[in-house]
Amino acid sequence: MNLSTYFMHLVGSGISAYYFAAQIRDPKTRPNVLAGFQLAESGSVPFLTALSDRATAEGDTWLAEKLTQHASDETRHGQIFAHALKQLNKEVIDFKNLPKNSQENRSQERRSPFFAAFFEGYSQEQLKPEVIDWDVFMGSTYILELDASKDFTRMANVLPENDPVTRNLKLGILSIAKDETGHAAYIYEAMMRRMPVASVERLVNEWRTRKTNAMLAFAGNMLQQKNTSRSMVQDTKPSETYSEVVAA
Ligand SMILES: [Fe+2]
Ligand SMILES: [Fe+2]
């Protein structure tokens, strides 16, 4: 990583730290942030499970086991956010109930400016778990997990402790941050098992640069207010029952 990338990385991580910390601290924006994280964390589970199956098929049982554990951690993270939302009498919108038109919009939006920049040069098809280049998966995931761990710690630290619900959320997010550190660590180990250290360094640098560019795209988008943040939450219906267990 050259100096200007490093400098821009600091700017980029400052932006995300400020943005997410401010959003989660404000009770008005908190439900939407929690919903976004619930969708992101739970959404990664089928991807990781499919990758674990592929690692098994390729004979890498070490990696397969790590990926299975990773998938179960992300399931738990999704549940922590779902539980926090439930305590605010909110839940993630059931996208299936939206009119068809907005469903289509949704799939268009799925490639956010952040991910478009982060995975520039790769088609959606190339990023599927059945075919994704392992180096691409590892380089990108290592950077995302490493940064997520720091972002979650910052978010937890700005949450006030004056009521039990928020204090519980804070502890939940801190435990998530700890898991994300563990994910970054096993991915790093996986890269070291596969390639010489110089190649690991090159891969990490490449994805650090991509992340920096993606953060700037994200920030630019926000500043231009292109990102009309849609609400991702609705009030819970009293008749509904929940069975999720949160093992915090
Ligand atoms: Fe997670
Ligand atoms: Fe993770």
Amino acid 215: pLDDT: 87
**Which residue ranges make up each domain of the chain?**
3-235
CA 78/CA 34 separation, integer angstroms: 9
Sequence letter at residue 164: P
Centre of ligand 2 from the C-alpha of residue 43, in Å: 11
Centre of ligand 2 from the C-alpha of residue 97, in Å: 29
Sequence letter at residue 18: Y
Is the separation of the CB atoms in 32 and 231 below 8 Å?
yes
Q: Residues 202-230, buried b or exposed e (16+ Cβ, 10 A)?
A: ebbbbbbbbbbbbbbbbbeeeeeeeeeee
Helix residue ranges, H only, the chain: 3-25, 30-57, 61-87, 100-109, 113-118, 134-158, 164-194, 197-223
Query: What SS3 state is found at 241?
Result: coil
Enter the pTM of the model.
Answer: 0.85
Centre of ligand 1 from the C-alpha of residue 101, in Å: 31
pLDDT digits (tens, 9 = 90+) for 167-185: 999 999 999 999 999 999 9
Q: Which CATH class is domain 3-235?
A: mainly alpha
Over residues 218-224, mean pLDDT: 78
pLDDT digits (tens, 9 = 90+) for 21-36: 899 999 999 999 999 9
Centre of ligand 2 from the C-alpha of residue 239, in Å: 33
Sequence letter at residue 64: A
CA 117/CA 216 separation, integer angstroms: 9
pLDDT digits (tens, 9 = 90+) for 142-167: 999 999 999 999 999 999 998 999 99
Token pair listed for 14:
């400052």
Query: What confidence category does residue 91 fall into, taking pLDDT thresholds of 50, 70 and 90?
Result: very high
